[in-house]
């Protein structure tokens, strides 16, 4: 999830664990803990694109990290603040660390919660930024913050934030199940043979959902809003994997393909060969558009290849939000 949401979650968990003993300090330290797992983005400055993608939401988003660094931070804080025991401080940091990847596991990118095992959990039931999840959570946290440390209201407000956010998360799972069934039915009605189907919510909402469908030579992309009245349409995007040629044998390209879990197409443009990661959708609500959120330029360089992520255009993002609102209203 986005950094604001993780800060709110960390603060709320910190308050639930030690708020009664150390007051607002629990929220502050919890908020800090909520950002620490995402420090893996530092790898972007020290390694290549593919390695940075492999590192992202890996070790720092694992139970191993939560245990090891929970104990370390717990020991350090127990030396500084004696109001809580070593056990309490360790439990505090462990929970703040482990709830971060548990939340991220519900997004499209997912997390390697069970690192070092090569298993990435990605339930794809909530977008990385969802105001309906974050804003009520934040509101209850602020209300709790202004109550006295011993106040019953403080604990009630904080618990309400955790309960409401968790309930919304459960709702998104139910909505995913409903929309998945809608896409399955549409494929069956249109007699489309397919090998795999995955669904995810569109940016910042859980009303409009998109589906990626794998067929023999292409990926089909369709969308469905709960306000739609017309049948779901699927639009083909040729895999074009053969366009990679000898590049497909390069170790770095194979690693990038592994990251996409096979959900990719290849585009041949005037400036080179691009690999498009389909898992994160397009920079448009038009299912026929070819501008994907994540595309990577693959260039031959000496005895190897260089892979560069295509830069985002902020104007495309602004138009996407405007068009998204219109599409959510139904077709």
CA dist list (Å): 313 to 195, 281, 318:
33, 15, 9
What was the pLDDT predicted at 288? 78
Region 231-237: mean pLDDT is: 96
CA distance 111 to 118: 10
Report the share of the chain in percent with pLDDT over 90: 89
What was the pLDDT predicted at 287? 76
Residue 252 has pLDDT above 80, yes or no: yes
What was the pLDDT predicted at 94? 98
If you average pLDDT over every residue of the chain, what do you get?
95
Question: How do residues 280-328 score in pLDDT, each as one tens digit?
Answer: 998 888 877 888 999 999 999 888 899 999 988 767 777 888 899 999 9
Q: Which two tokens stand for residue 66?
A: 């939560």
Is residue 59 within 8 Å of residue 78, measured between CB atoms?
A: no
Region 29-47: mean pLDDT is: 95
CA neighbor of 122 nearest in space, from 99, 101, 137: 101
What was the pLDDT predicted at 317? 72
Region 183-210: mean pLDDT is: 97
Region 186-198: mean pLDDT is: 98
Quickly state the pLDDT bin for 50 (edges 50, 70, 90): very high
Which residue ranges make up each domain of the chain?
3-172, 190-331
What was the pLDDT predicted at 283? 85
85: phi then psi, degrees, rounded to nearest 5: -80, 170
| Collapsed DSSP state (helix, strand, coil) of residue 148 | coil
What was the pLDDT predicted at 208? 97
Quickly state the pLDDT bin for 118 (edges 50, 70, 90): confident
Report the share of the chain in percent with pLDDT over 70: 99
Question: How do residues 63-95 score in pLDDT, each as one tens digit?
Answer: 999 999 999 999 999 999 999 999 999 999 999
CA neighbor of 203 nearest in space, from 263, 135, 131: 131
Region 109-136: mean pLDDT is: 95
Residue 183 has pLDDT above 90, yes or no: yes
Give 234's strand partners: 222
């Amino acid at each position: 999830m986005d950094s604001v949401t993780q800060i709110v979650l960390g603060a709320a968990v910190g308050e639930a664990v030690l708020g009664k003993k150390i007051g607002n300090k629990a929220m502050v330290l919890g908020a800090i803990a909520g950002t620490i797992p995402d420090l893996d983005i530092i790898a972007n400055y020290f390694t290549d694109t593919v390695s940075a993608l492999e590192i992202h939401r890996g070790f720092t988003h694992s139970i191993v990290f939560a245990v090891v660094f929970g104990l370390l931070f717990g020991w350090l804080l127990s030396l500084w603040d004696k109001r809580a025991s070593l056990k309490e401080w360790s439990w505090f940091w462990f929970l703040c660390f482990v709830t971060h990847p548990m939340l991220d596991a519900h997004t499209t990118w997912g997390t390697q919660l069970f690192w070092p095992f090569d298993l990435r959990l990605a339930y794809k039931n909530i977008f990385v930024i969802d105001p309906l999840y974050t804003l009520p959570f934040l509101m209850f946290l602020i209300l709790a913050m202004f109550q006295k440390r011993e106040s019953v209201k403080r604990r009630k407000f904080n618990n309400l934030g955790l309960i409401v956010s968790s309930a919304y998360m459960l709702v998104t799972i139910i909505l995913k199940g409903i929309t998945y069934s809608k896409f399955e039915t549409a494929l069956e009605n249109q007699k489309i043979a397919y090998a795999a189907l995955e669904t995810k919510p569109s940016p910042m909402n859980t009303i409009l959902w998109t589906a990626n469908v794998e067929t023999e030579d292409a990926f089909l992309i369709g969308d469905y809003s709960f306000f739609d009245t017309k049948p779901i349409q699927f639009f083909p995007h040729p895999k074009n994997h053969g366009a990679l040629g000898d590049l497909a044998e390069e170790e770095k390209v194979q690693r990038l393909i592994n990251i996409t879990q096979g959900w990719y197409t290849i585009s041949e443009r005037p400036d080179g060969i691009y690999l498009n990661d389909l898992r994160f959708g397009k920079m448009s609500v038009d299912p026929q558009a070819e501008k994907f959120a994540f595309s990577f330029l693959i260039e031959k360089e000496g005895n190897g290849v260089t892979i560069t992520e295509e830069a985002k255009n902020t104007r495309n993002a602004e138009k996407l939000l405007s068009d998204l609102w219109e599409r959510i209203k139904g077709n």
